[in-house]
Structure 1
Amino acid sequence: MAGPGPTFPLHRLVWANRYRELEAALHSRQHDIEQEDPRGRTPLELAVSLGNLESVRVLLRHNANVGKESCQGWAVLQEAVSTGDPEMVQLVLQYRDYQRATQRLAGIPELLNKLRQAPDFYVEMKWEFTSWVPLVSKMCPSDVYRVWKRGENLRVDTSLLGFEHMTWQRGRRSFIFKGQEAGALVMEVDHDRQLVHTETLGLTLHEPEALLATMRPSEEHVASRLTSPIVSTHLDTRNVAFERNKCGIWGWRSEKMETVSGYEAKVYSATNVELVTRTRTEHLSDQDKSRSKGGKTPFQSFLGMAQQHSSHNGAPVQQAASPTNPTAISPDEYFDPNFSLESRNIGRPIEMSSKVQRFKATLWLSEEHPLSLGDQVMPIIDLMAISNAHFAKLRDFITLRLPPGFPVKIEIPLFHVLNARITFGNLCGCDEPLSSVWVPAPGSAIAASASPFPCEVDPAVFEVPDGYSVLGAERSEPLRDEDDDLLQFAIQQSLLEAGTEAEQVTAYEEQLQLERALQESLQMSTEPEGPGAPLRAPPSFEEQLRLALELSAREQAEWERRGRREEEDLQRTLQRSLTEL
């Protein structure tokens, strides 16, 4: 079929797992390691889907891109987890973190060069994670990113380091970036242990083997992935539209304005923001599946955590099939672009549930704010987004064509029960003074500059504190690695595990009452109004939530009314007894 010059030579070597020939072909540098086959897979994606570990190892050694997503929106690491192979997951995860780190480090000199041209500043970014679900709200953390910028030096302080073993990890950490002629000096300062990891970056990354070795994940980390669902949460903003919020009553409506951090801001709603959540479970054992989704309480089902639908990517297994090629597709069939595979596919048959929800994001935009989103703030968000999933979502949102003004506050959905509210404040210490930041005296060169908000930053904030131990570039953990799938699973497990046993029993009884109320409201809303009346459609999830909240509010009001009546009866009884005396 292929003739003297076979198409997709790397892919064909991967298909047969002829990894020694694959190594030789890559050494020749005559082939594109990122070429896509007729099914949209790169050689690495194909090797992972087929479970060919040796070919995966060869491709990763030759820097195949681990960060690429498939046509269906799944990352290479997620496909590796679906194989259920711990060695595969460990290998792909290690190179994923390594490539993230090198990408972040390689982009720092360009970032600092952009900042060099911008006015100096200090600003705080407050992240608040909020939810309308009470149990989730209890576990929602918050954090304040403190950012100092002076010339080509940048410092970012944080206290929320991520989560591990289902608990939030806290610690005082600073990331300092100092521009130099040939590159940049990067320092990660651990204030709790008084340790500083330093690395000097040039045009090329030094000692990649040493950095790769530090990225090897623990066995516990690999095991946690293999026993957790694969969750992909995507914020779809293709059809987003912005409109001004209104305020006022009695027929008089005006465009809403609010003061945020001392700046007048126009309030906008972003409509048609869709949150797409997909969950895969084909790699889980029956026990893991029951732990993650089978033992749902009525409250979890109410939250929409139940499986919506399942899809399997293959016809019945044929005799010549293998676990990673369940429908026995031949290489000639696979590599022929004119051959339709229909429902057949390679890889373990997918078990997937999906959920799409529409949200309104909210923006507070100030046209008076002196910070420049493009010149001063976006480079910092770009830097953090490389290794921080939440910053990546923020970047994807604010790179849209926003209405005019600086986004002093933004509220966007992260998951179907979790929002992030980001507020910019304390610009140059104007709200809460800092010893490291001050407004220059009138007549000074900085005060006379063209900056709309002149600010001077103490150069000492970019130095290593006295008494700290300075080490090399070795790191004990990837920087700020917060994966959506693990966070989503942590939220679900927190719902299962929150509270004492007695509290869980009480909560479970309340959940049963809530479910009964929802069922009653559903029945009432779908009953015909009279003989011959058409049956109304069942209410949406949002309508069910509204009905449940109204019912809860009525019960609360009735309880308070009963309490007031009892208190009044008690007061009257006391007064009568005093009168009789």
Structure 2
Amino acid sequence: MSSARDASDHYPLHRLVWNNDYRQLEKELRDQNVEALDPRGRTLLHLAVSLGHLESARVLLRHKADVTKENRQGWTVLHEAVSTGDPEMVYTVLQHRDYHNTSMALEGVPELLRKILEAPDFYVQMKWEFTSWVPLVSRICPNDVCRIWKSGAKLRVDITLLGFENMSWIRGRRSFIFKGEDNWAELMEVNHDDKVVMTEHFDLSQEMERLTLDLMKPKSREVERRLTSPVINTSLDTKNIAFERTKSGFWGWRTDKAEVVNGYEAKVYTVNNVSVITKIRTEHLTEEEKKRYKADRNPLESLLGTVEHQFGAQGDLTTECATANNPTAITPEEYFSEEFDLKDRDIGRPKELTIRTQKFKATLWMCEEFPLSLEEQVIPIIDLMARTSAHFARLRDFIKLEFPPGFPVKIGTVK
């Protein structure tokens, strides 16, 4: 065990977190890398939160630990905070997460404004369409035509699909009108369905000066909502994505397919191996909350080809020396040794995990003669809108893939 003990000594800051020695941690953190990883892929903050050590977590957050970083399994610090079931931990992490996100958004806007201002004026529409091999389902699958007008530093973006999360989608007609120059900006959201207009004015330089952590105060109902709802993490898996020219014609006379979209000739590509992976954790919920969540499930999921895998808690591994956040009584020597195989054991509350995988086949219409540049003109606008819209964030993730040459005048996905 001496080698394991030596391994533990290689991670002195993590060892302090493990023991929740937050006073010594405060002293030792000066001029140290607060984002260092332990052998299990956790930062100091991830380790503190997973172990439920609120005092150490607060010290690390004061030292600017990255509250948005993911661990090896793709879970954020906030996800792990919710798993502890501790309202104070969730409040603390949520407060710092909101402060970080607001700061990053304000800092990035002037650069995005500069890129938008330098780009030529244009109008473009991009079609985003879901279909299904099931005729009835295909008729109610989400689709959207995103229209963008750009004039100087003024933008208008029209959408009809507001969100698509965990097999549910929300429709509505919205226009976002953005005006910006130097350090000021104005954002109008026009709700055409309810005939309501919301306007926000930003003086970016003053906003940055006024922004403090104390201004970020999560509401108690937001903390409660997170603690009584599943932790859901949805991601687009593009590791094995492949682009292939679509063929037309008959066997022996097949040629590369091309179609005219909005007056532009476009090459048609099939996009294979696109998966949307949804991970759902419920270990922090009561039995009643779990039943309520299952009752709210979308009945169309089986028709839409969702593959589901469930992983239960490690209850059979619990020992007499266990604690709530170290249920299998892992020793620090075991944890910090790269050679030691923990097998199914881990720190934190035992995960109750469901993984749902949806495979998509997409079709891309790429126009090489299109007068706009995706990288220089459209992506900065999508980046700007993604700061306030989950739908645009997902669209951004897709269009930032390494596409074939040209501009994607149309995107279609088949479930």
C-alpha contact 1:19 1:55 (8 A) present in aligned 2: yes
Give the drift of 1:365. Answer: 0.6
Give the drift of 1:190. Answer: 4.8
Give the Cα–Cα distance (whole angstroms) in 2 for the partners of residues 400 and 127 of structure 1: 15
Identity %: 49
Match of 1:501 in 2: none
Residue 111 of structure 2 is aligned to residue 107 of structure 1: no
Q: Report the structure number with the largest CA radius of gyration.
A: 1
Give the Cα–Cα distance (whole angstroms) in 1 for the partners of residues 197 and 148 of structure 2: 20
Give the Cα–Cα distance (whole angstroms) in 2 for the partners of residues 207 and 336 of structure 1: 45
SS at match of 1:31: coil
Summarize deviations over 1:540-575 as a string: whole Å, max 9, x none: xxxxxxxxxxxxxxxxxxxxxxxxxxxxxxxxxxxx
Paired residues for 1:20-39 under 5 Å? 20-26=23-29, 29-39=30-40
Match of 1:231 in 2: 232
Q: CA RMSD in A?
A: 3.5
Give the Cα–Cα distance (whole angstroms) in 1 for the partners of residues 126 and 251 of structure 2: 38
Q: TM-score, structure 2 length as denominator?
A: 0.82
Give the drift of 1:206. Answer: 1.7
Match of 2:204 in 1: 200
More helix as a share of residues: 1
Cα distance change of structure 1 residues 226 and 51 upon mapping to structure 2, 3 Å threshold: same
**Residue type of the partner of 1:86?**
P
**Residue type of the partner of 1:196?**
E
Structure 2 portions without partners, runs of 5+? 191-195
Give the Cα–Cα distance (whole angstroms) in 2 for the partners of residues 136 and 284 of structure 1: 34
Give the drift of 1:172. Answer: 5.4
Give the drift of 1:399. Answer: 2.9
Paired residues for 1:531-546 under 5 Å? none
Give the Cα–Cα distance (whole angstroms) in 2 for the partners of residues 103 and 58 of structure 1: 22
Cα distance change of structure 1 residues 295 and 334 upon mapping to structure 2, 3 Å threshold: same
Cα distance change of structure 1 residues 104 and 158 upon mapping to structure 2, 3 Å threshold: farther
Give the Cα–Cα distance (whole angstroms) in 2 for the partners of residues 194 and 352 of structure 1: 39
Cα distance change of structure 1 residues 123 and 303 upon mapping to structure 2, 3 Å threshold: closer
Summarize deviations over 1:331-371 as a string: whole Å, max 9, x none: 23322334332322100111112233432111111112100
Cα distance change of structure 1 residues 274 and 141 upon mapping to structure 2, 3 Å threshold: closer
How many residue pairs get aligned? The number is: 402
Match of 1:64 in 2: 65
Cα distance change of structure 1 residues 300 and 179 upon mapping to structure 2, 3 Å threshold: closer
Match of 1:76 in 2: 77
C-alpha contact 1:163 1:169 (8 A) present in aligned 2: no
**Residue type of the partner of 1:254?**
T
Summarize deviations over 1:503-562 as a string: whole Å, max 9, x none: xxxxxxxxxxxxxxxxxxxxxxxxxxxxxxxxxxxxxxxxxxxxxxxxxxxxxxxxxxxx
Residue 98 of structure 2 is aligned to residue 94 of structure 1: no
Cα distance change of structure 1 residues 96 and 368 upon mapping to structure 2, 3 Å threshold: same
Paired residues for 1:467-478 under 5 Å? none
Cα distance change of structure 1 residues 156 and 21 upon mapping to structure 2, 3 Å threshold: farther
More strand as a share of residues: 2
Cα distance change of structure 1 residues 363 and 127 upon mapping to structure 2, 3 Å threshold: closer
Paired residues for 1:331-410 under 5 Å? 331-410=332-411
Give the drift of 1:207. Answer: 2.1
Cα distance change of structure 1 residues 199 and 353 upon mapping to structure 2, 3 Å threshold: same
C-alpha contact 1:265 1:366 (8 A) present in aligned 2: yes
**Residue type of the partner of 1:189?**
M
C-alpha contact 2:276 2:357 (8 A) present in aligned 1: yes
Cα distance change of structure 1 residues 331 and 38 upon mapping to structure 2, 3 Å threshold: same
Give the Cα–Cα distance (whole angstroms) in 2 for the partners of residues 387 and 115 of structure 1: 17
Summarize deviations over 1:241-280 as a string: whole Å, max 9, x none: 2112223358643332222222121111111223333222
C-alpha contact 1:103 1:386 (8 A) present in aligned 2: no
**Residue type of the partner of 1:78?**
H
C-alpha contact 1:296 1:306 (8 A) present in aligned 2: no
Give the Cα–Cα distance (whole angstroms) in 2 for the partners of residues 56 and 63 of structure 1: 11
Give the Cα–Cα distance (whole angstroms) in 2 for the partners of residues 133 and 73 of structure 1: 35
Give the drift of 1:120. Answer: 2.5
Give the drift of 1:83. Answer: 1.6
Give the drift of 1:296. Answer: 6.7
Match of 1:216 in 2: 217
Give the Cα–Cα distance (whole angstroms) in 1 for the partners of residues 56 and 40 of structure 2: 19
C-alpha contact 2:129 2:412 (8 A) present in aligned 1: no
Residue 155 of structure 2 is aligned to residue 155 of structure 1: yes
SS at match of 1:309: strand
SS at match of 2:106: helix
Structure 1 portions without partners, runs of 5+? 418-581
Give the Cα–Cα distance (whole angstroms) in 1 for the partners of residues 307 and 227 of structure 2: 20
C-alpha contact 2:242 2:272 (8 A) present in aligned 1: yes
Summarize deviations over 1:52-81 as a string: whole Å, max 9, x none: 223223322332212211111112222222
SS at match of 1:14: helix
